[in-house]
Amino acid sequence: MFHWLEKRPFFFAVAVFVVIAFAGLIEILPNFAQASQPVVGTKPYSTLELAGRHVYIKNSCNACHSQLIRPFKSETDRYGHYSLSGEYAYDRPFLWGSKRTGPDLMRVGNYRTTDWHENHMKDPAAVVPGSIMPAYGWMFKNTADIDTAYAEQLTVQKVFAVPYNKEIPLADGSKATVALADSLEGAHASALEEAKVIAADMKDQDVKDAVAAGTIPEIVALIAYLNSLK
């Protein structure tokens, strides 16, 4: 049989393809729809948070920081409740990472503040002596890309029915709504409102001035995203 295949490249290629495709069909397809159901309390990202998530991705924060808490005592002691599948329902892409050169950030919003992040991103070793994390000074100067974040929100709302402008049940029984503006100007306005709240807690005068003048530095968006990780 193998001698026969080795003389027939077409059938050989088909045989190889069937053998390698098999595992994917069995392992990936079942549970595919089920695994992306949000748990109670999971909200989609606001425009500013999503822009911050893009800053996180742009700088490959996921190269050193995971967002996946494994169900071990040492991990839940350090980072909080272990991760649940539904908590990632609105994460496109997922940002679990594969290496913890720095600590996990899945629930960093529970125990770090805007002020802490500002100081830390400017000079990590000043906040955590011995840290090998580099400084991210350019985030204080570069402007966050609100347009692209808004475009992504529109896309996921349209294509994946992500529930913007809809009531989302929270764990305590109340409801919340994540608003999505109906125009790009509206998206900029709402992102700026959020940014002002963050900037009020910051010390950097250039950042404060920028936000007051209507532009949002990357660091403000990033902090909005990090604060949303709970």
Q: Write down the residue that tokens 């539904």 correspond to.
A: 86
Closest approach, Cβ 179 to another protein, in A, equals: 17
Decide: is 175 part of the binding site for another protein (CB under 8 A).
Answer: no
Task: Name which of residues 10 to 39 contact another protein (CB under 8 A).
Answer: 12-13, 16-17, 19-24, 27-28, 31-32, 35-36
In this complex, which beta carbon is closest to another protein, that of residue 197 or of residue 228? 228
Decide: is 71 part of the binding site for another protein (CB under 8 A).
Answer: yes
Decide: is 61 part of the binding site for another protein (CB under 8 A).
Answer: yes
Q: Which of 40, 110, 113, 131 binds another protein (CB under 8 A)?
A: 131
Q: Which two tokens stand for residue 76?
A: 């839940």
CA distance 128 to 146: 31
In this complex, which beta carbon is closest to another protein, that of residue 92 or of residue 107? 92
- Angle of helix 205-212 versus helix 218-228 axis, rounded to 10: 90
Decide: is 59 part of the binding site for another protein (CB under 8 A).
Answer: yes
Is the CA virtual torsion 116, 119, 123, 125 positive or negative? negative
Q: What is the DSSP string of 20-87?
A: HHHHHHHHHSTTTTGGGPPPTT--PPPHHHHHHHHHHHHTTGGGT------SSHHHHHHH-SPP-GGG
User: Where does this chain touch another protein (CB under 8 A) — which range of 3-11, 165-173, 192-200, 203-211?
Assistant: 3-11
C-alpha triplet 137, 78, 70: angle, nearest 5°: 100
**DSSP label at residue 176:** E
- Amino acid, res. 196: K
Q: Which helix (H) or strand (E) holds 167?
A: strand 167-169
Closest approach, Cβ 200 to another protein, in A, equals: 27
CB 82 within 8 A of CB 76: yes
Decide: is 185 part of the binding site for another protein (CB under 8 A).
Answer: no
Closest approach, Cβ 102 to another protein, in A, equals: 8
In this complex, which beta carbon is closest to another protein, that of residue 131 or of residue 200? 131
Closest approach, Cβ 120 to another protein, in A, equals: 12
139 closest CA partner among 120, 153, 155, 113: 120
User: Where does this chain touch another protein (CB under 8 A) — which range of 93-101, 108-116, 166-174, 209-217?
Assistant: 93-101
Decide: is 119 part of the binding site for another protein (CB under 8 A).
Answer: no
Decide: is 134 part of the binding site for another protein (CB under 8 A).
Answer: yes
In this complex, which beta carbon is closest to another protein, that of residue 101 or of residue 177? 101
Q: Which of 11, 110, 111, 137 binds another protein (CB under 8 A)?
A: 137
Three-class secondary structure of residue 18 per DSSP = helix
